[in-house]
Structure 1
Amino acid sequence: MKNQAESKRNENLRLSNQESNRLTRECLQTALIYLMNEKPFEQIHISELARRSGVSRTAFYRNYTCKEDILAEISNSIVHDVAVSFLDECGRYDSYGWFYNCFSKVKTNAEPFRLLLQAHMPRDSLVGTGSVLEKWIPADTPAAHYRLLALEGAFINILADWLRGGMKDSVEDMARLCADQLGHTIRDIFTSLTPPKNGETATHKTQREEQHENRR
């Protein structure tokens, strides 16, 4: 009985520590975003970050080793949210719709994306090495791997330029441009991964493409 009570106390303490660390990380992430709106990332110091977030330096180092770790965690969270759009299988027969969904999601997260670009962090520090898309769309051949890298590199550069330019071109215009230039790659990727669902025949694909043509 005594052992059960002690085990219960230890479990409650563990859960309490996890919740405390989660709240600490959220406070630090929020504070970093606010500070990055006020000054360049490289001018932000740990003591300033801890003070703005209301946590101690000890609490900071219990959760992170440096401020770059916070930025990487924010980036991973955003990338994961946007990647949900990448998995939309409409890309197999409607590349315009696929790019439209992606640009819409990025526009919704425009502010944190802008801050990440502003920080000038190396890409590998933010999202790791290799292809981001490949984490969700496995490539089983070298050709598929490099095709994903090519698509990702082109698309990320387009997104970054669009964000830096203040998103002056509409989501519709950007989706149309990318569908024209990169649509065949998207269709090839999804076609190689999964067979068409019931009812999605070549005729269905043609109808989708005609809808895109009518948007021009």
Structure 2
Amino acid sequence: MQYKKSNNPSSIRSRKMIIDALLQLMEEKPYHKISIKELTDTAQLVRKTFYRNFKSKEDVLQEYITGLMNEVEQKFEEVDVLTPYIMAKLYFEFWQKHIDFLQLLQQNNLFIIVLKQLNDYTPVINSKYKAELMKGYDDKFLEYYTVFNTAGIWHMLEKWISLGVKETPEEMAQIYSDITLNNPHMRK
């Protein structure tokens, strides 16, 4: 987000109502056919309230995804040791619970919004959970390392959904771990 959102209870409640209304409408019709008026009517709010809290419909989705990513981070905080496998397992378990939302994004060609949010969020995760691992590397390397990993986990999530979520989160975590640790496991 490019501007600070109000944390007063009324504003928080209005944003939640708008998010809920957008998700409801996306289940009924394509995203590009949803107008701001229809969105505010569904949320039972006035347009002014929408524009006081959001710049666009995409901004609504970004706030929702940011909230989801904060939930993933809480899962990370509950674990003593975060290996690539454990992080990926928590990540895919979490997103599996939100598969309907991810499928809505995919159906509406909006999955790229997840990547945009990951691009903002991954540096925060890296500084909190991988700081020791990243010591000694220069800023340019870390910048490319971050975008490489971000795009990789995003593409894995997208592919997993496209293929019908056939693998378990544990299988996805093993694949991710093997890739990141350059340790492909052998299948019989």
Same fold, judged at TM 0.5 (above)? yes
CA RMSD of aligned residues (A): 3.1
35-44 or 158-167: which moved more? 158-167
Summarize deviations over 1:163-214 as a string: whole Å, max 9, x none. Answer: 23221111122122222222359xxxxxxxxxxxxxxxxxxxxxxxxxxx8x
Alpha-carbon distance in structure 1 between the residues aligned to 2:76 and 2:155: 16
- Percent pairwise identity: 25
8 Å contact from structure 2 (residues 118, 150) kept in 1: no
Aligned to 2:13: 23
Deviation of the 1:85 alpha carbon: 4.8
Q: TM-score, normalised by structure 1?
A: 0.66
Q: TM-score, normalised by structure 2?
A: 0.74
Letter in 1 for 2:100: E
1:131-210 matches, within 5 Å, as 132-138=121-127, 141-184=139-182
1:2-41 matches, within 5 Å, as 18-41=8-31
Letter in 2 for 1:143: F
Alpha-carbon distance in structure 2 between the residues aligned to 1:22 and 1:133: 25
Alpha-carbon distance in structure 1 between the residues aligned to 2:45 and 2:22: 13
Alpha-carbon distance in structure 2 between the residues aligned to 1:148 and 1:127: 13
Deviation of the 1:125 alpha carbon: 8.9
The 1:66/1:95 distance shift into structure 2, 3 A limit, reads closer
Question: Structure 2 regions of 5+ residues with no counterpart?
Answer: 1-5, 128-133
Deviation of the 1:49 alpha carbon: 0.8
Say which SS state the counterpart of residue 132 (structure 1) adopts: helix
Deviation of the 1:29 alpha carbon: 0.4
Aligned to 1:205: none
The 1:101/1:25 distance shift into structure 2, 3 A limit, reads same
Report how many aligned residue pairs link the two structures: 170
1:64-143 matches, within 5 Å, as 64-85=54-75, 90-91=81-82, 94-121=83-110, 123=112, 127=116, 130=119, 132-138=121-127, 141-143=139-141
The 1:86/1:131 distance shift into structure 2, 3 A limit, reads farther
8 Å contact from structure 1 (residues 28, 70) kept in 2: yes
Aligned to 1:56: 46
